[in-house]
């Protein structure tokens, strides 16, 4: 009740409520003016021109007063079309939430555009305090978010192409995966473009091969000689001309795809680095132990710029899926991993926690203390990420970079159980410097 009252106080006086059931070609809408019992409905073509006419007609009709709009999107084409109109205030509803709400009052499973908008409109009118109001972040942060997510997609495409190349080579040229650990390197790509099959490679002179390896920055003579000897000893996996030509052509295409993706990822990295360097929170996240250029940008995007976005660290933990879910029924109780969450966001915190183990000493102690079996690795990393989110949230909220020494002093003050093995297993000790306790290396 308190939350609903606070939301109601912070809300403007709505002129109308609108629910939109979006689709690829046409959007079905339902409108309820405030103070009237009647509802109106209609369709909009999915074009910028049609949406412009519809939005401006509402602006003229209600005198520019705010209108609450509910739709099953938080990102997408319709959100982009509607976000530019200041009199339309967008509320996002998760598709599963909308479906479950509809089934609550329609257990038969009957479904129609009119019924969907009626259900969404009722959800907007009665439970608006539980819906997510779309409030865009700064242009720089939103651009950074698009870039880091696209970069991750490109990395996934490189992995997919590399796996396809490996499968292709195993058919007609299985020696390549045996000679080289990674197939997406410039060395392998240049080799396959110059000598597409084993027979072509075997016809090359040893001096030519040695010169090629040198040009590809391979300088270890022992390794070069082993590869050259292996080339001349190798036997073709198949002599079927159809398979050799067909698979070698496929390999050439995949090599070019990997090269193109690698080049685009490099350009994305450069642009992301420029944005992080000029972002007001860039230095804050760059102070984190184990956060390289990629993770700094992803963590920055995870929190955003608006400090009012999250009221507590628990909201970040739940939204990201790092916080576990507890189920209770009678005398039974169980805890399981949170599945319904933005996967890229959860992956960001999980990967950062994993990287921090090598750079943060307390994180290393935490991991060693709780992970006694390889099967516990991911659960332990999630538990570590849970702790990191609380720390990151406070740094982000205060606008203050992370300081490992401050955190260690705080752990010592609170008599954290991590401090006992931490001090016992390292050559560190607490020393009083300028009136402050500081963790320092013991002198030999």
Q: Which of 136, 158, 180 is the last residue of a domain?
A: 136
- Checking 426-431 for CB contacts under 8 A at 24+ apart, the result is 426/361, 428/361
Same domain assignment for residues 132 and 6: yes
Asked whether residue 66 is assigned to any structural domain, the reply reads: yes
- Phi, psi (5° rounding) for residue 327? -115, 140
Count helices and strands in the chain by DSSP H and E runs: 20, 10
Contact by Cβ (8 Å): 360, 354: no
Give ∠ CA 110-113-117 in degrees, rounded to 5: 100
Write out the two tokens for 127: 């439970």
C-alpha closest to that of 213 among 183, 188, 240: 188
Distance from C-alpha of 29 to C-alpha of 118, rounded to nearest angstrom: 9
Give ∠ CA 434-440-444 in degrees, rounded to 5: 120
Asked whether residue 408 is assigned to any structural domain, the reply reads: no
Contacts (Cβ under 8 Å, ≥6 apart) of 355: 290, 291, 292, 295
Give ∠ CA 340-345-351 in degrees, rounded to 5: 115
Distance from C-alpha of 153 to C-alpha of 147, rounded to nearest angstrom: 10
Contacts (Cβ under 8 Å, ≥6 apart) of 85: 55, 59
Same domain assignment for residues 244 and 333: no
Same domain assignment for residues 92 and 178: no
Same domain assignment for residues 368 and 320: yes
Q: State residue 236's pLDDT score.
A: 93
CATH number, domain containing residue 199? 1.10.287.4070
Q: State residue 2's pLDDT score.
A: 39
Asked whether residue 444 is assigned to any structural domain, the reply reads: no
Asked whether residue 424 is assigned to any structural domain, the reply reads: no
Asked whether residue 210 is assigned to any structural domain, the reply reads: yes
Q: Which of 102, 136, 170 is the last residue of a domain?
A: 136
Q: Which of 105, 136, 167 is the last residue of a domain?
A: 136
Q: State residue 9's pLDDT score.
A: 47
Q: State residue 34's pLDDT score.
A: 93
Q: pTM for the complete prediction?
A: 0.84
Asked whether residue 120 is assigned to any structural domain, the reply reads: yes
CATH number, domain containing residue 114? 3.30.420
Q: How far is CA 39 from CA 16, 34, 134, in A?
A: 10, 10, 24
Q: State residue 6's pLDDT score.
A: 41
Q: Is 174 helix (H, G, I), strand (E, B) or coil?
A: coil
What is the residue-level pLDDT of the chain in tens, covering all 444 positions?
334 434 444 788 999 999 998 888 889 999 999 988 889 999 999 899 999 999 999 999 999 999 999 998 878 888 999 999 999 999 998 888 888 888 888 787 777 777 888 999 999 999 998 888 888 889 999 999 999 999 999 999 999 999 999 999 999 999 999 999 899 999 999 999 999 999 999 999 999 999 999 999 988 999 999 999 999 999 999 999 999 999 999 999 999 999 999 999 999 999 999 999 999 999 999 999 999 999 999 999 999 999 998 999 999 999 999 999 888 888 888 888 888 889 999 999 999 999 999 999 899 989 988 888 888 899 999 999 999 999 999 999 999 999 988 888 888 888 877 776 555 545 555 555 555 545 555 555
**Residue 192 belongs to domain spanning:** 143-275
Asked whether residue 412 is assigned to any structural domain, the reply reads: no
Q: How many domains does the chain have?
A: 3
Same domain assignment for residues 149 and 235: yes
Distance from C-alpha of 193 to C-alpha of 187, rounded to nearest angstrom: 10
Write out the two tokens for 116: 């969907």
Same domain assignment for residues 248 and 340: no
Look up tokens 């290393």; give the residue.
364
Same domain assignment for residues 217 and 295: no
Cβ-count burial 22-46 (b if 16+ within 10 Å, e if not)? beeebbbbbbbbeeeeeeeeeebeb
Asked whether residue 437 is assigned to any structural domain, the reply reads: no
């Amino acid at each position: 009740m308190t939350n609903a009252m606070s939301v109601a106080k912070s809300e403007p006086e709505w002129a109308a409520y609108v629910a939109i059931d979006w689709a690829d070609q046409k959007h079905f809408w339902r409108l309820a003016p405030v103070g009237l019992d009647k509802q109106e409905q209609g369709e909009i073509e999915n074009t910028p021109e049609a949406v412009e006419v519809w939005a401006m007609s509402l602006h003229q009709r209600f005198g520019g007063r705010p209108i609450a709009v509910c739709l099953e999107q938080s990102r997408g084409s319709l959100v982009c079309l509607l976000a530019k109109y200041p009199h339309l205030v967008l509320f996002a509803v998760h598709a599963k939430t909308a479906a479950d709400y509809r089934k609550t009052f329609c257990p038969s499973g009957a479904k129609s555009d009119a019924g969907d908008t009626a259900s969404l409109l009722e959800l907007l009118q009665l439970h608006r305090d539980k819906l997510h109001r779309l409030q865009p972040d700064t242009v720089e942060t939103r651009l950074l978010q698009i870039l880091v997510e696209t970069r991750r997609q490109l990395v996934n495409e490189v992995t997919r192409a590399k796996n396809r190349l490996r499968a292709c080579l195993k058919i007609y040229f299985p020696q390549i995966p045996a000679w080289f650990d990674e197939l997406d390197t410039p060395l392998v790509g240049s080799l396959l473009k110059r000598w597409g099959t084993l027979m072509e490679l075997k016809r090359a002179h040893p001096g030519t091969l040695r010169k090629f390896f040198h040009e590809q920055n391979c300088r270890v003579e022992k390794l070069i000689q082993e590869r050259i000897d292996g080339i001349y000893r190798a036997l073709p996996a198949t002599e079927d001309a159809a398979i050799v030509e067909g698979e070698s052509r496929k390999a050439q295409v995949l090599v070019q795809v990997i090269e193109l993706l690698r080049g685009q990822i490099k350009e994305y990295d450069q642009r992301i680095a420029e944005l992080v360097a000029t972002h007001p929170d860039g230095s804050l996240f760059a102070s984190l132990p184990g956060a390289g250029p990629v993770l700094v940008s992803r963590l920055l995007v995870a929190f955003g710029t608006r400090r009012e976005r999250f009221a507590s660290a628990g909201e970040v933990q739940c939204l990201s899926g790092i916080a576990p879910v507890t189920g209770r029924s009678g005398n039974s109780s169980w805890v399981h991993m949170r599945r319904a969450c933005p996967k890229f966001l959860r992956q960001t915190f999980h990967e950062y926690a994993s990287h921090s183990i090598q750079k943060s000493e307390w994180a290393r102690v935490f991991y060693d203390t709780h992970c006694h079996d390889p099967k516990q690795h991911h659960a332990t990393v999630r538990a570590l990420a849970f702790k990191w989110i609380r720390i990151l949230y406070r740094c982000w909220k205060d606008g203050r970079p992370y300081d490992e020494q401050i955190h260690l002093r705080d752990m010592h003050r609170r008599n954290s159980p991590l401090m006992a093995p931490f001090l016992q297993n390292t050559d560190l000790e607490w020393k009083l410097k300028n009136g402050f306790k500081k963790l320092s290396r013991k002198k030999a």
